[in-house]
Amino acid sequence: MEREVACEPVAVPPGLAALVAGYGWARNRVGESGGAVYRLFGKAGAPDLYLKQGSGHVADDIVDEMARLRWLTGKMPVPRLVGFILTTDGAWLLTTALAGETAWQLLERAPERAEQIVDALVELLQRLHAVPVQSCPFDSDIDRRCWLARRRIDAGLVDESDFDESRAGWSAQQVWDALQCHLPLTPDPVVTHGDFSLDNILVHGGRVTGCIDLGRVGVADRYQDLAILSAGLAEFGEMLPKRLFARYGIEAVDQARIEAHLLLDELF
């Protein structure tokens, strides 16, 4: 699948029209999650932008992301908020683009740099997990996420065709039932990204330039991020997750906790 395709400019609310004028448009095909994501590029003297738009439950997610983006600004390398509008028709979030390519793209293009990439990702993750929990106004612990997951199952919002290969053909209810076998968990709470995947981290010049898709940021078990990152790295070789945990400082990896978080992630 192409990561993005060129498209015509779309209609935006009046409050954003001047901000997006003069740009070329391309629709992003990765991680849209029911909404629409556009890269705006090519305007002389202006930075590239990203526009995220959606209605219904997607609009709620965009509102969540806007609030977390504002809170993380100055604490972590994140995009700059350029504009935000919430209407009866949906939500629109306009941000600057971060420099570089995703960690996934870089691992595909330059596998010989894999260890360097893992080390850079760990450094960013440790920085995020060091943000004081008491300062974070967002709760993303496993009890809340299970409650949200159950609502998504009951509303028919879970994309069962997008499950990982090991759970291909499962129903959302089967994933939920498997998750229950790992609960309850005793969390080790930190400020988490919530979807710390290789497609949500940007790298440029050998360093991480920041993280995107921030709608799930909140206090949660540290394995929430470690599980998703380790699963992504495993697709590029079994040694990379081992390096991740070694560099992070975990000697005895809790595989049951990893499995629980991966099952829960399938439902979002």
In order of start, what are the domains of the chain with their CATH numbers? Answer: 4-96 (3.30.200.20), 101-266 (3.90.1200.10)
Provide φ and ψ at 238, rounded to 5°: -70, -20
- Out of 61, 64, 195, 221, pick the active-site residue: 195
In the predicted model, what is the mean pLDDT of residues 208-215?
A: 96
- Rounded to whole angstroms, the Cα distance separating 63 from 175 reads 28
Residue 31 is predicted with a pLDDT of 60
Mean pLDDT of the chain: 95
Place of tokens 């540290």: 222
In the predicted model, what is the mean pLDDT of residues 164-179?
A: 97
141 catalytic residue (yes or no): no
- Rounded to whole angstroms, the Cα distance separating 195 from 166 reads 19
- Rounded to whole angstroms, the Cα distance separating 207 from 63 reads 29
Tokens, residue 76: 């972590």
Summarised one tens digit per residue, pLDDT across range 15-28 is 999 999 999 999 99
Taking 60 as the threshold, does the pLDDT of residue 14 lie above it? yes
- 94 within 8 A of 82, measured Cβ to Cβ: yes
Summarised one tens digit per residue, pLDDT across range 84-105 is 999 998 999 999 999 999 999 9
Residue 30 is predicted with a pLDDT of 76
- 224 within 8 A of 194, measured Cβ to Cβ: yes
From 81-85, 136-140, 145-149, 202-206, the region with the lowest mean pLDDT: 202-206
- 158 within 8 A of 267, measured Cβ to Cβ: yes
Nearest to 111 by CA among 196, 236, 235: 236
Quote helix, strand, coil % in the chain, to nearest 5: 45, 20, 35
